[in-house]
Amino acid sequence: MHKALERRRAEREERLSRARAFAEEAQKALSAVSIWVYGSVARGDFNLGSDVDVFLVAENLPEHPLTRSELLFRWGPPGVEPKGLTKGEFLRALAKKDAQLLRALRDRVLIRDDLGLEPLLAELTGAGPRS
């Protein structure tokens, strides 16, 4: 059992390292970013086919959804599924207590928080990030 747990932790850490690689590239291009991993990798119930769901917030992102997605996917290693909002969009969603956003980010791993958004998110979700 012990080896199985070690292997599982190593698999999760490998997925989180992909998110960190994404965060590094995004930060180089955008300067200040806040990035979380959410979904099955954050919860720890991922499987072999699970991607790494990454949520990014930055001051400026392209307005057009396809252009935004193209930019976000440019930085991600294989298996990373990025989504992103501008800081303004994110703050408006938090102000409205957007149920979909809060539910998605309830179980999360903080990768970096240059924009200082984690305390606001923790207050609204009632939970801090996982490690």
Give the span between the Cα atoms of 6 and 14, in whole angstroms: 12
The verdict on pTM exceeding 0.75 is yes
CATH of residue 116's domain is 3.30.460.10
105, part of any domain: yes
34, part of any domain: yes
pLDDT tens per residue across all 131 residues of the chain: 689 889 989 999 999 999 999 999 999 999 999 999 999 999 999 998 899 999 999 999 999 999 999 999 998 889 999 999 999 999 999 999 999 999 999 999 999 999 999 999 999 998 888 88
In total, how many domains does the chain have? 1
Q: At which residue do the structure tokens 């294989």 appear?
A: 78
Q: Which range of residues forms the domain containing residue 76?
A: 2-125
Element (H, E) at 91: helix 87-95
Q: b/e map of 91-116 (b: 16 or more CB within 10 Å)?
A: eebbeeebeebbebbebbbbbbbbbe
